[in-house]
Structure 1
Amino acid sequence: MFQAVERKQFAIAVSPKVFDAVTKRARDHGVSPTAMAKMLFEAAFAARVGQERGAPVSDTELDEQVTLVFACAGQGSLAAIAKATGVKPDLVERILKAWRGRK
């Protein structure tokens, strides 16, 4: 059975340069700037928690983790999603088309 999860909210301020960069990336991926910032935060937070638990993360590993978070959100190229998830590109394409068709 589905149970609603209580959500909490942060209010943060960033420089205009960071805001513009996040907004551009969000637009390029067809999501809101808030959704893009949330994905970036969650990816960075997951990587930091892993480091604190003694699972060192190299830059390459962090890049892969962030790519996987975006892949799970349907962001990125077919090739990047396929690489991050281990799913063949043709199947990734069919899945994304099905998900986008449901919106």
Structure 2
Amino acid sequence: MSFEAAERKQFGIAVSPKVYDSVAKRAREQGLSPTGLAKLLFEAGFAARIGQERDAPVDDTELDHQVTLVFACAGQGDIKAIAKATGVNMALVERILEAWRRKRPA
């Protein structure tokens, strides 16, 4: 099986200074750019909305788990929170994240 690079499209959105500052602060805390964090948040929200459209609505708790998983898959987040959301042992989560960090392109 081969994977081909998918064409990317870009959105341009404007947010209030308060929202931008909040996103930028959280992004810095996670070692991301504001755009990188906004992308993760958009993808989590989009996935939740598609679930609602497919008559598989999510409640707040499930949405919280989905958002946590998006960040976990991006290698972000607290090990304890990732373990709780995924049901995976904390030691294994730590080993997985470390392996991702080693393999992440420079």
- State the TM bucket, normalised to the shorter chain: over 0.9
Partner of 2:64: 63
Alpha-carbon offset, residue 101 of structure 1:
2.4
Q: What do you get for the CA RMSD once the two structures are aligned?
A: 1.1
Partner of 1:33: 34
Alpha-carbon offset, residue 2 of structure 1:
2.2
Moved more, 78-87 or 21-30: 78-87
| CA–CA separation in structure 1 for the residues paired with 2:96 and 2:57 | 32
Q: 1:56 to 1:2 in 2, by over 3 A?
A: closer
Partner of 2:44: 43
User: Any idea what SS the aligned residue of 1:94 has?
Assistant: helix
| CA–CA separation in structure 1 for the residues paired with 2:13 and 2:49 | 19
Q: Which consecutive segments of 4 or more residues in structure 1 shift more than 2 A?
A: none
Which 5+ residue runs of structure 2 have no aligned equivalent? Answer: none
| CA–CA separation in structure 1 for the residues paired with 2:97 and 2:89 | 12
| Residue 85 (structure 2) pairs with residue 84 (structure 1) | yes
The amino acid of 2:85's aligned partner reads A
Using the size of structure 1 for normalisation, the TM-score is: 0.93
Where does 1:5-24 land on structure 2 (aligned, <5 Å)? 5-24=6-25
Alpha-carbon offset, residue 61 of structure 1:
1.2
CA offsets, 1:70-100, max 9 Å, x none?
Answer: 1111111101111222221111111212222
Q: Is contact 1:71–1:85 with CA below 8 Å preserved after alignment?
A: no
Partner of 2:5: 4
Q: Percent identity?
A: 73
Q: Is contact 1:74–1:96 with CA below 8 Å preserved after alignment?
A: yes
Moved more, 9-18 or 92-101: 92-101
Alpha-carbon offset, residue 40 of structure 1:
0.1
| CA–CA separation in structure 2 for the residues paired with 1:54 and 1:13 | 30
